[in-house]
Amino acid sequence: MSSFVVTLIKGAIALNFALVIAAALVYLERRISAWMQYRIGPNRVGPFGLLQPLADVLKLYTKEDVVPYNANRAFHRLAPLISIAVALSILCVITPASYLLLEDGTKLFIAVAPNVNVGFLLILALTSIGVYGITLAGWSSNNKYSLMGGLRSSAQMISYELAMGLAAVAALMLSGSLDMNQIIASQANGRWNIWFQPLGFVIFLVASFAETNRAPFDLPEAEPELVGGYHTEYSGMKFGLFYLAEYANMFTASAVMTTLYLGGYDLPLVPQLLGVQEGTLPRVLLELATFFGKVSVLLFFFIWVRWTLPRFRYDQLMNLGWRVLLPLGLVNIIITGAIVFFVR
Amino acid sequence: MNVTTNTRAQRMNFWEKLYLPEIAKGLALTFKTMFRPKLTRQYPEERWEPLGSYRGRPVLVLEEDGERCVACGLCSRVCPALAIEVQAAETDRDKERYPSKFEINMLRCIYCGLCEEVCPEEAIVMSKDYDIVFHSQEEAIFGKDKLLVPIARLQERLEFLRQYK
């Protein structure tokens, strides 16, 4: 098989997997939020209500697609596509396991696009494009509330991308590479970046909450003042795409944090104890389980925080971004740089 | 100048200003809540049984030998929503009168209970029914067939009325 076909197959698997994860996250979000509020949550559709996302999607598909009067139709249609496309395209560099050694001695890498030497830069660049979807959605809707939501979103993303990038720089200095495989390899055997970069991890975590527009930074869709924010004027599956993109973003943000700070698919001691060799199928499965275990912990944390904290005020959001996280990120870089320079 | 300096923000100590410990406290609270008993009632399966004081759908009391109502029309007169219509007719029983037609428009009824309060015979009482549904406006007009309820099922309400009315 040519490598092109292999990549296509891997891409298809990754896309479908991400969409299933996003659907599952919608269900989990509703269920966990219910538990945190002394409620039960959706439990009627299918066993334990597991088919609820399916019913939701069915409902969205049968909805009328309303486009507001005087809306810019082309951009109105394009915006949700940008959102979902960007959210899903980040998956190509996510490395959930190392490689499988085939019989003829070649390595089958599990990542869709393995060994991209600018892997992490690609992620930062793609997340920046994601803001276009939201801003365009707000602008093209011909609705002042949507526009406000879109503007807020772009301001927020620009503010927090800086802090996020600075936090990432410090972690990347330790790893010495932008390649996702190398980043994980440098954290092998429990030398995870989170132990050396606790401050950087907190900054990155807070910034990724803002990047994914999740509470407590979900100002772009603040219901009380903006009706629904940038997706007020969207209906049917177009709205569904935004919704899906939010959860897909959550998944990719968790995967990136796992890679950068939690050692990716590294699980210290266990492979040695079980005696599974690198490149064998059991090892790959173990790595996948480790990676998605870590990701799901972070995903639960995303949901947990959303149903605990109230939303920030806009000035508080800007204060936190520019006057707290940005200086902290810079200090973190200087300290890390000094230590890397003098110790190694 | 009326400047307040001792604001809540200034009274916060260092750890509170740092947010993170307070956030951790909040997270601990929501996490504990996840494992507490749920308050949700699974409605169609688990129903709430109201007390005698509950003012549900108004119904007519049906005794062994027929309805109690003597069709005096007081309920119809007192009804603030004009939901009740009564037509009287004669009967051979001791009471001499009975309602040949008794209709309550459930779309108009506001469950105030004035009909019950004004009734001299304790013939119209508020029941415990609270799931009142219909598919059309015609269906919403309840005639005698739906209004008459055996007295045995209304004992709790009648006792409540005797005690507190």
Phi, psi for residue B83 in degrees, rounded to 5: -95, -15
Q: Of A73, A86, A260, whose CA–CA distance to A169 is shortest? A: A260
CB within 8 A of A322, min separation 6: which ones?
A159
Q: Is the pLDDT of residue A304 over 60?
A: yes
**B contacts of A32 (beta carbons < 8 Å):** 34
Indicate the burial class of A94 (C-beta count within 10 angstroms; 0-12, 13-18, 19 or more). buried
The pLDDT of residue A275:
74
Q: Is the pLDDT of residue A238 over 80?
A: yes
CA B10 centroid distance within chain: 50
Predicted ipTM of the assembly: 0.75
Query: Which residue would you say has higher pLDDT here, B90 or B94?
Result: B90
C-alpha span between A86 and A84 (Å, rounded): 5
Q: What is the largest CA-CA distance in chain A?
A: 65
C-alpha span between A127 and A157 (Å, rounded): 9
pTM: 0.81
Q: Is the pLDDT of residue A227 over 80?
A: no
| A13 close contact with B: CB closer than 8 A | no
Q: Is the pLDDT of residue A128 over 70?
A: yes
| Cβ contact B30–A202 (<8 Å) | no
| B137 close contact with A: CB closer than 8 A | no
C-alpha span between A123 and A91 (Å, rounded): 9
Q: What is the pLDDT of residues B30-62, one digit of tens each?
A: 888 888 888 888 888 888 888 888 998 999 998
| Cβ contact A202–B33 (<8 Å) | no
The pLDDT of residue B78:
92
Q: Is the pLDDT of residue B9 over 80?
A: no
**B contacts of A35 (beta carbons < 8 Å):** 33-35, 38
**Residue from A29, A38, A320 to probe the interface with B (highest B Cβ count within 10 Å):** A38
CA angle A51, A57, A62 (to 5 degrees): 130
C-alpha span between A255 and A259 (Å, rounded): 6
CB A146 within 8 A of CB A232: yes
pLDDT-derived band of residue A152, with 50, 70 and 90 as boundaries?
A: confident
| A199 close contact with B: CB closer than 8 A | no
Phi, psi for residue A309 in degrees, rounded to 5: -95, 140
Q: Of A206, A329, A217, A308, whose CA–CA distance to B24 is shortest? A: A308
- The class level of CATH for B58-164 reads alpha beta
Mean pLDDT over A121-138 rounds to 85
CB A94 within 8 A of CB A18: no
pLDDT-derived band of residue A1, with 50, 70 and 90 as boundaries?
A: low
CB A298 within 8 A of CB A129: no
**Within chain A, where are the H helices?**
3-36, 52-62, 73-89, 119-140, 144-175, 180-185, 193-196, 198-211, 223-226, 236-261, 270-274, 281-306, 314-319, 326-343
**CB pairs below 8 Å between A and B: how many?**
36
**B contacts of A34 (beta carbons < 8 Å):** 40
Q: Which helix (H) or strand (E) holds B85?
A: strand B84-90
Mean of the per-residue pLDDT values for chain A?
84
CB A74 within 8 A of CB A142: no
| Cβ contact B27–A39 (<8 Å) | no
pLDDT-derived band of residue B82, with 50, 70 and 90 as boundaries?
A: very high
Q: Of A20, A25, A33, A30, whose CA–CA distance to A296 is shortest? A: A25
| B21 close contact with A: CB closer than 8 A | no
C-alpha span between B125 and B114 (Å, rounded): 10
The pLDDT of residue A222:
67
Q: Is the pLDDT of residue A105 over 80?
A: no
Q: Of A9, A36, A328, A7, whose CA–CA distance to A169 is shortest? A: A328
Of chain A residues 66-105, which have a CB less than 8 A from chain B?
Answer: none
- Strands B97-105 and B141-142 come out as antiparallel
| B30 close contact with A: CB closer than 8 A | yes
Query: Which residue would you say has higher pLDDT here, A133 or B15?
Result: A133
The pLDDT of residue A148:
83
